[in-house]
Each structure stands twice: as structure tokens, then as C-alpha cells.
Chain A
Amino acid sequence: MSRTPVPELICPAGSLPALKAAVDHGADAVYLGYRDDTNARNFAGLNFDRKAMLEGLRYAQSRQRKVLMAINTFAQPGRVADWQRAVDGAADLGVDAVILADIGLLDYASRRHPELRLHLSVQGSATSYEAVNFAHREFGVRRAVLPRVLTLAQVETVIRNTAVEIEVFGFGSLCVMNEGRCWLSSYATGESPNTVGACSPAKYVKWEKSPGEMSTRLNGILIDRFGDAEPAGYPTLCKGRFEVNGDTYYALEEPTSLNVLEVLPEIAAIGVAAIKVEGRQRSPAYVAQVTRALRAALDELARNPDHFHVKPAWQAELAHVSEGSQVTLGAYNRPWR
């Protein structure tokens, strides 16, 4: 039976059990990071030490799946060598690609390790084909991950004007979608994904329980207050409810997750090379659930591209694990330009 090419499925791994869950449930590739601030999910106790990294690489690559290493924060003053060592280490380990954001680090990697495959991280914030082509021309970048702020039509324009493979987000917690350029976490805490590898780091977060409600504070700033039956979200400024002109509401973005199932045929048709699942901070259970649902959907699309229907079971599984228990198509179907 002929199968239509569909995008690769790239799944998150914050731990070895999560990596194995991704591989076992049908990920084509997993992405992971070191246990330090060279990656944008630098959370206490998360990620891979050398021993877990070696076992993870063995587990995935022996099953013909790829391992992509995210070194996607920006080298900090006086510590550039730490980021360069991370790239050297990834090359030594034999990862299938490194995902970089920092232009200085892209330059270093392309000179020092010409054989190493480079992906441009979403934190690199390339939203136009000119930016993507620049990364290709200067550093030989082979794939770029686009920020979630683009509409499908804009993604298509980028794909038509570049030789670089394009990866987009397919599922996961949604923020203001301005990855790599967002100042909200820095505004509240002085720290951000680009600088310390975490948005709204946990040490600044306080959950306060009182009868009938829960309040969230980020470095003292009241982000939101939930009734006992209301779904909750991550404690970031973009998910907060604020008083604007006398109304209190989600002024920036609601707690929600992106879910592209409905537009999967369009995503495949415009030539997207890969879809990425957000959530290295989440548990093996989430990785298994999301990978399983998206694998089933992609396989169905490959078998039956002209009569693809989203199965309610996939939607239910994805909605269940979503932030705020709801999903959205995000920018993909928004009218803005």
C-alpha cells in the first residue's frame, strides 16, 4: 500500500523513562538536554547526566530513532566555554543533531564540527525565510524550528522560499508564542529561558491555598486566583488574569495547549518536515499519551490522506493532558499577518 510522506514526529524527553516512552510509542526523534543552563528546560532534577544520555542514545538509535540535543540558551558573559563544551560533548556522543539558538554558538559549531547537523532552535526566533536562509548560508543550518506566532500561510511562504527543512510545533503548552524574544519572565524575575534556561523559574513561584481558592504569585506579583473547580495553568505572566480598563481577564493568553490535529493534512501538504511536541518538563505518562495520539493520527494521514478524519479518541487524549484542560489551533488559523 502506498503511503503519503508525513512530517516526522519529534517528542520531548526530560528523563530516560520519558525518552523510552517516546520511542516505544512511535516518536521518529526525541529531543533532550544536559542537566544545566545550556538548555531552555533547566529545571531542578530534570534532564540527562552523561550516564543517562549514553543509555538514551543507545536506546533510541538502536531502534533507528534520532536523538536531537537542545543547547538552545544563549551563552552568558564570561561563560562562553560552557556552551562550547556542551556542543563538543554532543558531537562526541554522536547525537543526530544539535538544536542551537545563539548565533555565536552556531558559528562555533559550524567551524569546529562541520559534520555535526545543526537545527535552529525556536529560541533563535527566525520568523522569515530571510532569517532561515541567513542561518543556512552562514552556518549550514539544515532545519529551523519556527516560532508559534506564524499562521499556516506564513509557514508555507517560508517553506517555498528556503531549502532548509522546517519544523513547527504540533502540540503542547502555549505561551505568547514569541519564543526567544519574550521579556515577560525577565520583567517579573530578572531571569528568562534565554539567560537561565527557564521561564518563570520555580524558585519565584508561590501557590497559596485558602478556603475555596488558590492564588499564584510570581516573585510576589499576583498572577491569577482560581476557584476550586477552575482549571489551572503554569505560573507565567502570559497566563495571568489582569485588570485592564476595569475588566479582569486573561489579557495576554489563556492557559491552553496548542493542538494541530485538525490541520494536520494542511501541515503535511505545505511540506512541513517535522512536528514537535512541547513538554520536556512533563512526565513519562504525558509523553506516552501525546506520542501515541499523534503517531496514530500521522499514520492515519499517511494511509488515507484524502479522507483524513480526526478521531475523537485522539482529541480526548490530547485535551486531557492540556494546560487549562483546553486546546487551540493557536496562530495557525488566525487572520493576522
Chain B
Amino acid sequence: MSQGFSIPRFKLPALVASLGARLPQWPHSLALATGLNAAARIGLLPADSLALLEGRSFLVEVLDAGGQARFTYRDGLFRPLWKAPKSPETPDLSFSANLSAFLQLLARQEDPDTLFFSRELSIVGDTELGLVIKNMLDAIELPQLPNLAAFRS
């Protein structure tokens, strides 16, 4: 979307995933839940969409980094789930992709359907829940970023 700067498609070396998978996963879950709570607190996430997440469990898996974040939404707060990475319990919804795809999504450089069609993003579980989350994130009004191209010349 930005003209001056774009996140390239890349894949981290396999070594990163094998190391990453051995690290404790709770810091990712804590960081993600904290970030989502901050967004909800300042009113970025609409209440009617949040209500649809109540009691559901989520997994975000960064394939090439070997990292996972598990969390849920209960009583108005996103909460990390302290499960071992190989936990057999199936989340209601899982997103998995390489780091570059997640970064492209967060920067609004790529559309999730595009990444889904090209098989770079995989969504498993409750499809409608996936739509709620996608549309909730799409509706957030991001602050205007400075035009990076302007700094180049």
C-alpha cells in the first residue's frame, strides 16, 4: 500500500524455526494479549465484534520463526493461554503463516484473501470467527504514517 517502502516476501532460515520452537512460547502470548488489550482499551476494537470472541481460543503460529501465541478473550480482556506448544487441545481458530506474511498484513500491504489464495496464510477452525477478526482488524483506523518516500530524496 505504501509507495516508498514495502515489506518483501521472505522466509527465515530453517535453523530459526528449530531454535524458536525450543524457546518458551508464553512471552509471545503475553505480548500479543497485552497489545490487543491496549487496542481494545483505547476503543480501536468495536464492542459488537469483541462480544463475538467471548470464550473462544486462538492460535497464531509464525511458521518460519517457530513461534506460537495462544490466547483467549474472556470477560472483556484478551488473556494468554499457558499451554505447551504441543498441547493436544485444538483452538477454535488458528492462523499460520511465515513472518513476512504477518508483517505484510499488519502493515496493510497485503490483503488476507490474497495471502490465502496464494497459500501463504492458512486459517483453520471456525471460519466465521476468522472473518470477525479479519474485519475487526480491517476496520481499525490507523494513525497516518509519515510518507517514507519523502525521506529518501
Contact = CB atoms under 8 A, between A and B. Distances in A.
Interface stretch (A105-113, A130-138, A189-197, A316-324): A316-324
Given A282-B113, A285-B110, A323-B117, A45 B122 contact: no
Interface stretch (B14-22, B24-32, B73-81, B132-140): B132-140
A15 B124 contact: no
Contact of A207 (B46, B124, B131): B124
A15 B142 CA distance: 12
A307 interface: no
A98 to B, nearest CB: 23
B23 interface: no
Given A44-B131, A208-B124, A320-B114, A232 B119 contact: yes
Contacts of B142: 17
B113 A44 contact: no
A255 interface: yes
Contacts of A313: none
B119 A228 contact: yes
Contacts of A214: 122
Q: Which of A203, A233, A285, A289 has the most CB of B within 10 A?
A: A285
Interface in B48-102: 48-49, 52
B109 interface: yes
A15 B110 CA distance: 16
B116 A232 contact: yes
A120 interface: no
A43 B1 contact: no
B118 interface: yes
Contacts, number: 104
A206 B48 CA distance: 24
Contacts of A288: 1
Interface string A222-262: 00001011111101000000000000000000010000000
A45 B52 contact: yes
Interface string A2-31: 000000000000111110010000000000
Contact of B134 (A17, A283, A324, A325): A283
A202 B127 contact: yes
B63 to A, nearest CB: 12
Contacts of B140: 17
Contacts of A33: none
Interface in A23-60: 35, 43-46, 49, 52
Contacts of A209: 122, 124
A17 B111 contact: no
Contacts of A52: 139
Nearest to B136: A45
Contacts of B123: 207
Contacts of B46: 45, 49
Nearest to B133: A45
Contact of A289 (B1, B48, B49, B127): B1
A202 B128 contact: yes
B46 to A, nearest CB: 8
A258 B1 CA distance: 22
Interface of B: 1, 46, 48-49, 52, 108-114, 116-119, 122-125, 127-128, 130-136, 138-142
